[in-house]
Amino acid sequence: MKLIAAPLLLPVAAPPIRDGAALVGDDGLILAVGPLRELTRTAPEASTTFHEDSVILPALINCHTHLELSSLPPIACDSLFVEWILEVVRRKRSAAPEDFLRGIKNGALECLRLGQGVLADVTSVEGAERHYPEEGPLVAHFRELIAPSPEGVEMALERPKDGALPKSAYYGGLFAHAPYTVCLEGYEKALGKALQKGGRLYTHLAESLDEVEFALTGGGPIAEELYGNIPVNPPAATGLHPVDWLARNNILGENTVAVHAVNLLSRHIEILAKTRTSVVLCPRSNENLGVGAARGRAILDAGIRVGLGTDSLLSAGDLDLWKDLLLAIDRYGWSPAEAIFAATLGGAGVLGLLGERGALKAGMKADIIVRGLVAKGTDPWEMAAASQGTRAVYLSGRETCSA
């Protein structure tokens, strides 16, 4: 047994604890959380590691990444949205297979170094999922589906073949890229297949006004510039906002996760709440690509289950989820407690990991991060949000990274 302690501990699922500690068993599960003085009396035989001038939190949960893109050359984010997509396509086509595999491994280890214990990652390259490092964070794997026409759905669902996952990864579900790249049959079959295998359906949704314009009219930059530059027939215009279209066709629901959700009216937020659809917000990616800021305050107030994601390194600039947490406070008007919750226990809810990860609580995995305290004050959540640098990371109670 061991005690991991610091001047401040945020269990997230319970009030903050001054001079707090987590008692961790040899099996990597948390046995108890509480004041260090009490736990020392409870378990006098336990070794103690006290992190001075630090705050202890649950490891972060990054609900949206594209790690395979992490080794590709950076893209200037002053491009328009469709121009940026075309540049990603060009760089993927010119990359060697080992570039994607290196991105998977290095990206996962970088996320771990930055305090992330769980990732929801999307791959499009065959076999990439086999390269998640076993010493890295837990990865929920989602294979990307692009199927703009019904006749291509079955082939798209079969390619690439799902490879054997390493011990550090599990089947998360399928990722239907977006309503402008996946037809209705693609969504329906992807949802059915994901549910059949115990997973979820992820999708980019209402990320840009270009997407909304294409759905409503079949025109705009996606039709003219994206499909005008590739030999593929686009999905037909639906005449509906993407949220209305997916709702009408029963794609939304408690096993569907909408990523970005930037360009929404109030009624669309109500639809997501009513259908119990989860949302993943990526504030830095949205800001860098100039697509606007999600209505994070309204989404949270509607009672929607919300997580945070970095998106790819090509849009976010790096894989530091803590920066997205801070930008959510600034852009959405969230409190530090709300932002930290979204980056931990909220993410666990999005990925179906409640009761396992996302909080420091007896019976849960001892996935713990230690960050440096730099501000003194009376509000522990504000102190935690102002913390700087990940000083140590524990997975199942084992220290994997330290500053």
- Residue 279, classed as helix, strand or coil, is strand
Nearest to 381 by CA among 11, 16, 6, 4: 16
Q: How many helices and strands (H and E) does the chain possess?
A: 16, 16
pLDDT value for 164: 83
pLDDT digits (tens, 9 = 90+) for 289-325: 999 999 999 999 999 999 999 999 999 999 999 999 9
Q: Give the length of the chain.
A: 403
Let me know whether 240 and 181 are in one domain: yes
Q: What is the per-residue pLDDT for 161? A: 65
Spans of the chain, pLDDT less than 70: 77-78, 160-163, 403
pTM of the model: 0.96
CATH number of the domain that residue 111 is part of: 3.20.20.140
Cα–Cα distance for residue pair 157/161, rounded to 1 Å: 8
State whether 32 and 64 are in the same domain: no
**Domain of 49: which CATH number?**
2.30.40.10
| H or E stretch at 268 | helix 266-275
- Domain hosting 40: range is 2-58+359-402
The predicted pLDDT at position 16 comes to 98
For the segment 50-93, what is each residue's pLDDT rounded down to a tens digit? 999 999 999 999 999 999 999 998 887 667 899 999 999 999 99
Query: Considering its fold, how many domains does the chain have in total?
Result: 2
Q: Are residues 84 and 33 in the same domain?
A: no
| Residues 49, 150 within the same domain | no
